[in-house]
Structure 1
Amino acid sequence: MNKGKIVRLFKTLTAVGFCAFVAGATLTSPVSTAYAQQNTLRIAAVVNDDLVSVYDLKERIELTMLSANLKDSNQTRQRLAGQTLRQLIDEKIKLQAAKENNVSVRDAEINGQIAKIESNNKMPSGQLLRILQARHVDPETLRSQIRAQIAWAKLVGRKLRRRVNIGEDQIDEVLNQAKKDADKQQKRVFEIFVPLESQEREVEVRQNVDRMVNQLREGANFSGMARTFSHASSAGVGGDRGWVLPGDLPPDLQEVVKKLGPGQISAPIETLTGFYILKVTDTRRLGGDKEKSELTFSQISLPLVSNNSNGRQAVIARAQELRKAIKGCADVEAQAKSVEGASVVADSKAKLGDLSGPVRTQVENLKKGETSQPISLDKAVLLITLCDRTDGESNLPSRREIRQRLTMQRMELLERQYIRDLRQAAFIDVRL
């Protein structure tokens, strides 16, 4: 390697100074407190021409414990330290690359993202920063994290977006598949992706991911963990990948999602590039809520003069003949007049979910203009002709949404390669 030779990269954090930092919350003597304060000014890592201080590391760990709802203990701090330091190093690399490419982030953009986090969590304006201050977390820690996320998003958009071209045929393929799967359940998925940068670190990364899963299942906040540790493009929105379409996920991830119900968290899923943790938060029918489909129909009622078997069968046979003569809603009244005692109710409206069992069974698959098979009830035989159908709001994606999804998937692959190249070219010296 050239300047990018990595020195003592990501070694175990066992220095005496770091142990004092971890235990800092419990040190009470004046000498110990002074030592802990002095220790936070030490350098945790050098990243090219920038520094990550122990103070930066301490504050980010505090932020992570707060946002992820983790138990505050020395053990938790020690477990978070290595992962958090790697995250801070990556942020320095991303900000440096953004600066080299004249990408800047305005305060208004950071404030807007903070406002969005508050809105998503139903907080009044300003409450998030007040919570940080009350918990003695420097608000600049959150702002610096958001600054890196925004700068990176701008940079990869500028450098990589032009390398992604989604054709209309690709959109057609996704949309056609979605229509075929309209009756299937769609799931909303949150994700955490931890890359495997080298085979030498596989055991360490696996242990970290296993630990994350345990913390999540014990009540840690998934979105908070994703914002801090996930390397997926969804990290900035708390790991929210959205409603997953058929083909959105690689087959191994898709199979796991199929088995997860709302609120369930997967075990670590190993892939060629790293480990995934997935969570399903909700389900819905891809084609929309069928129960809310509104039907407009005309109904012919043929009364049962005799309720014995022969009398009922005679009326059903007459209804079958009538059904063959009806070509659409415009024919209903005229055809009904040919049957003595028949009554007509025109332009009735009802939601599919409100119809009784026998009626629903005959009506739910009718096409516009079709007439149902005879429906035998206690005192009459019904024929229902469907005049119009307004389906419940469809959950099928628009072409624009599909283009955005496909673009995001391609961009994510390019983005991972880009940050990997930047890491390899960087000078990184971990001092702890």
Structure 2
Amino acid sequence: MAFLPASASAQTLDDPLGIPADISLLGEANPNVRTATAIVNGHVITGTDIDQRVALVISASNNQLSEEDLARLRMQVLRNLIDETLQIQAARSQEIEVTQAEVTDRYNTLAVQNFGQEAGAMDEYLISIGSSPASLKRQIEGELAWSNLLRRNIAPFVNVSEEEVNELLKRMEESRGTEEFRLAEIFLAATPENRNAVLENGQQIMQQLRQGGSFQGYARQFSQASTAATGGDLGWLRLAQLRSTQLEAIVNEMQPGQLVGPVEIPGGFWIVYLVDKRQVLMADPRDAVLSLKQISISFEPGITEELAAQQVQAFSTGVQNMRGCGDADAVAGSLGASVVTNDQIRARSLPEQLQNIVLNLQVGQPTPPFGSIEEGVRVLMLCGRDDPEVVGGPSFDDMMNQLEDERVNKRAQRYLRDLRNDAYIDYN
């Protein structure tokens, strides 16, 4: 489009700038105007609010989203923002205020956890991904407001008897040696009316998680359980504490690192991640503190596989002939190998393939060689081991708190459902 020369529009007293009555805009009327996407009991949720929260979710995933996936994500984020707004409004109506100091303190804590430094680094990161500090602080405000509301209005009216707690502790003692599981969850509430839409959203979340998305990030953004604020962490549980034979069967078949879902349960859908498992009231061998010597060789660039194999064979033979850890440095020197000693390695920090191998070694024994031409070949020699003490079970108070949290969570879901039913929500 060509621009008109200045003389093409006449200047008058009524129009000193000489602007034609009929103009054609070459850009947005006002790119800074934030149009409402939804109005929740008078509070405006804008497209910018959604964009910035979507950016937080995408940052938790290493994947590119298709236009269709992005549209679904935006709809889910809008629903989350509506719930968040209802939670904040409910708290304020009960004169439960979250102070700016509380929000800032939690924000600074997250900055230290994620960046190991002050909030400035996280500010810059959030802006760089298309989000903002204000968006994350709004989410924090919602979490604190809802937590405070539940603590005051629901938790005091949840009753757990001493008999219930003692019965669970007794059953736990009887199950000593059986397995317990460290779980993380994402709960998506559903009704018969929106079941299919929620299921589709759960399947989309599963796809993103399988492609490398952060479980904690998705749990914080999407889960409607009280564990959302802690990234979905359920802590250590025995199967019986799941209170569902369906879920018990699912979790019992899982291996650490495995993800399952969405599983339909009363009230919605459940996505579960098995972080770890161990035996009830028993010491976990993987908590043993090991003293290890790492003995390694590297290869010249361009070495042939045949020559590398010969060097590995000589290295392996030399290591097998060592007379314990005291002989390691001298023999390693004769083999052209290097030695690194570490006296404070927990077995569980080793790669899973090595954990059982190392735990089955006697002091002075090495692992089989492992590695590659590119990375070098190494062995680990066990030089000492401090086994963990037998762990005690949860205390009476811990078990009481767990039961109370379960019941508070169920009531919180009903409370939020009622807030949705009573809300005035206008969509654009």
Which TM-score applies when normalising by structure 1?
Answer: 0.66
Deviation (angstroms), 1:130: 2.8
Q: CA deviation at 1:125?
A: 3.1
CA gap of 1:47–1:185, structure 2 versus 1, over 3 A, is: same
CA distance in 1, matches of 2:115, 2:282: 27
- AA aligned to 2:123 is L
Separation of aligned partners in 2, 1:281 and 1:292:
14
- The residue that corresponds to 2:223 in the other structure is 230
Match of 2:187, SS?
strand
Correspondent of 1:284 among 278, 281, 292: 278
Aligned residues: 308
Q: What aligned pairs does 1:255-270 form with structure 2 within 5 A after superposition? A: 255-270=249-264
Instruction: Confirm or deny: 8 A CA contact 1:47 1:429 kept in the other structure.
Output: yes
Aligned position for 2:425: 428
| Match in the other structure for 2:187 | 193
Q: 1:293 to 1:103 in 2, by over 3 A?
A: closer
Gaps of at least 5 residues in structure 1 are: 1-29, 295-352, 357-389
CA contact (8 A) 1:68 1:223 kept: no
Match of 1:135 in 2: 129
Selected match of 2:409 from 408, 412, 421: 412
Partner of 2:154: 160
In structure 2, the residue matched to 1:84 is 77
Distance 2:110 2:282 in 1: 28
Sort the Cα spacing of 1:249 and 1:292 in 2 relative to 1 into closer, same or farther, 3 A: closer
Cα distance in structure 2, aligned partners of 1:85 and 1:395? 44
1:208-223 correspondence to structure 2 within 5 Å: 208-223=201-216
Amino acid at match of 1:93: L
SS at match of 1:136: coil
2:268 alignment partner in structure 1: 274
- Are 1:178 and 1:246, in contact at CA under 8 Å, matched by a contact in 2? no
Given the alignment, which residue of 235, 238, 247 partners 2:240? 247
Task: Give distance in 1, aligned partners of 2:408 and 2:218.
Answer: 22
Give the 5 Å matches for 1:8-407: 31=26, 34=28, 37=31, 41-71=34-64, 74-121=67-114, 123-126=116-119, 127-196=121-190, 198-251=191-244, 252-289=246-283, 392-407=389-404
Conserved in 1, the CA contact under 8 Å of 2:220 and 2:231?
yes
- 2:193 aligns to what SS in structure 1? helix
User: Alpha-carbon deviation of 1:216?
Assistant: 0.7
What does residue 338 of structure 2 align with?
A: none
Structure 1 residue 122 displacement after superposition: 6.4
Name which one, 1 or 2, has greater alpha-carbon Rg: 1
Partner Cα distance (2:75, 2:181) in 1: 33
Q: Distance in 2 between matches of 1:240 and 1:63?
A: 19
1:78 aligns to what SS in structure 2?
helix
How far residue 116 of structure 1 moved from its aligned partner, in angstroms, is 3.7
Distance 1:100 1:129 in 2: 31
Displacement of 1:136 in angstroms is 3.3
Distance 1:292 1:247 in 2: 24
SS at 2:242 equivalent:
coil
Query: Using the alignment, how far apart are the partners of 1:36 and 1:260 within structure 2?
Result: 53
Structure with higher RCO (Cα < 8 A, 6+ apart):
1
One-letter amino acid of the structure 2 residue matched with residue 141 of structure 1: S
Give distance in 2, aligned partners of 1:415 and 1:292: 37
% of aligned pairs identical? 29
Alpha-carbon contact 1:105-1:150 (below 8 Å) kept: yes
CA contact 1:177–1:246 (8 Å) conserved in 2: no
Distance 1:229-1:429 versus aligned 2 partners, 3 A rule: same
TM-score for both structures, normalised by structure 2:
0.67
1:126-162 per-residue CA deviation (whole Å, 9 max, x = no partner) reads: 2333311232321100000010010001011111112
- CA shift at 1:98, angstroms? 0.6
